Every structure is written in structure tokens, then in C-alpha cells.
Amino acid sequence: MQPIFEVRNLKRAFGGLAVTNDVSLSMAPGDRVALIGPNGAGKTTFVNLVTGNLKPDSGEVRIGGEVVTGIDAIGRVRRGLVRSFQVTRLFADMTPSEHVALAVLQRTGRAGRLFGNFLGMPDVMAEVADLLGKLGLRELMHRKVSEIAYGQQRLLEIAVALALKPRVLLLDEPAAGVPQSDTGRIEQALADLPADLAVLMIEHDMDLVFRFAKRVVVLAAGAIIFDGSPSDVTKDLRVREAYLGSYANASHAA
């Protein structure tokens, strides 16, 4: 199957220190990949490079076979590469319906129209209601973001990302900061993502990683040291030494 997302020999250094060191990665439609690694491994730099927020020193990023290395972040979103953030970037005084509607209007080239008119756009409102309904947020669609729980805000971020119709979705710790009692909603939202969507999730919660991922990529010191199945990652000596440590030992003992 033709990869929908490819990174080829990506490199980036700061002051002589290679933070992204010859990284290559590909994903096919429907892939569920977890990117893990210790703090300082270069995960954030990698995401900023592939999303266009940072320029690489060398290497390529491709979406659907098209080289997008010289295209900015907005251009990559238009080509189907969408990310969420570790910390919410929602507007406290806006409602969930306004957030999702704005994403729909941006995607359909109507963002320049008077934003307040979206309530009178049946096609936009139908999509807004559908997305928020799937994520259990329909009853909150007209409440301000500041009035809804943090876990619901994380679900809203997923709704906004889906409204952009991504082909590749990068999730940066989607359950970060969410109370344990609400993480089940996040996991259900992840399980319900479109089957043909390629998803790359950065995550520290190894239990979530093993429930979500069909493939695990481990980054350490800016380089990929493992790319394989969840069942094999805990057995890899380099991964155990660089990152998993006690988790791998506990899993093995269990």
C-alpha cells in the first residue's frame, strides 16, 4: 500500500547537537502508531519538523507522495496533516460549536465570511452537530469552553481536528491532564477514529500506548531505535535501557 505519510532521513541540529538524527518513518492509511521515548529524545522537535513549524537541516516530508518539506504548516493542514497539542489551545470564551464550525469553514474555504453567520448554514451546523454528537459533546455545544470539564476540552480538540478532514492525525498526549475517571472517554474517541485515518500518537502512558497502538516507534537521542509491534518493544534491550526500564520488567513479570 502506498504510504500516506513519509519522513525520509530527517535531520535537525541546534548548536551542533543533533536533535533529530537521520529519522525515517512511513505510515499507511489506517495505521495506529505510538511514538514514545524519554524526555529530551526529540519527539517535540520531530513533530514540529513534520508539521512545518520548524525547518529541517536536511531530509524530506511527504504527504500522499507529495514532497511538502518546503510548504508551511497551513499548507500541510490543507493537504491532510493535522495535529493536536499536549496542552489545550482552545479559546475560553468560544463555544464547542464555534470551534468546530470555524474548522469546517476553514476547510471549505469560507473562513473569510462573517463568522457569526455559521448558525444559518445548514451544512455547517449538520457537520458540527454530527462531530460533537459522536464525541458526546452535543449537549455542551453552546456552552463556553471555560465552562466545560478539561476532559471534554480534550475531546473538543479531537472534534476540531476531525473537522479538518485529516488524512494523517498527530496526537500529542491526548489524555494529558485528564482525570483518570475521564480517560475512558478519550480512549473511546481514539477507538472510534475513522478506520482509514493514519494516526501517530505521542504518549507517555504506556498502558494507553499498548491499548491503542498496532505499532510502536521509539525515539532516543534524536534517533529511532525501535520500530515494531507492541509485543516486541518490551523485549528489545536498547528500548529497555533507554526508556521502558521498570515498566518492561513489571510487564515481563506479570
Q: Where are the domains of the chain?
A: 5-88+166-253
- Number of Cβ within 10 Å of residue 1's Cβ equals 7
Per-residue pLDDT of the chain (254 residues; tens, 9 = 90+): 789 999 999 999 998 889 999 999 999 999 999 999 988 889 989 999 999 999 999 999 999 999 999 999 999 999 999 998 655 679 999 999 999 999 998 888 876 655 567 777 889 999 999 999 999 999 999 999 999 999 999 999 999 999 999 999 999 888 888 888 888 888 999 999 999 999 999 988 888 999 999 999 999 999 999 999 998 998 888 888 877 655 555 554 43
Give the per-residue pLDDT at 202.
93
Q: Do the beta carbons of residue 3 and residue 27 sit within 8 Å?
A: yes
Q: Do the beta carbons of residue 202 and residue 43 sit within 8 Å?
A: yes
Picking from 203, 169, 175, the residue whose alpha carbon sits closest to that of residue 187 is: 175
Q: Do the beta carbons of residue 51 and residue 83 sit within 8 Å?
A: yes
196 Cβ neighbours under 8 A, 6+ residues apart: 29, 30
98 Cβ neighbours under 8 A, 6+ residues apart: 115, 118
Give the per-residue pLDDT at 245.
59
Give the per-residue pLDDT at 254.
38
Alpha-carbon distance 57 to 12, whole Å?
Answer: 5
Give the per-residue pLDDT at 238.
87
Domain 5-88+166-253 of CATH type 3.40.50.300: yes
149 Cβ neighbours under 8 A, 6+ residues apart: 182
Residue spans of beta strands (DSSP E) within 173-222? 198-202, 215-220
Give the per-residue pLDDT at 251.
53
- Three cell numbers at 225? 531505535
Exposure of 224 in the CB half-sphere (CA atoms within 13 A): 18
pTM of the model: 0.88
- Cα dihedral: 184, 41, 76, 156 (round 10): 20
Q: How far from 179 is each of 149, 158, 175, 185, CA to CA, in Å?
A: 10, 17, 8, 11
Q: How far from 159 is each of 65, 237, 249, CA to CA, in Å?
A: 26, 38, 37
Give the per-residue pLDDT at 218.
94
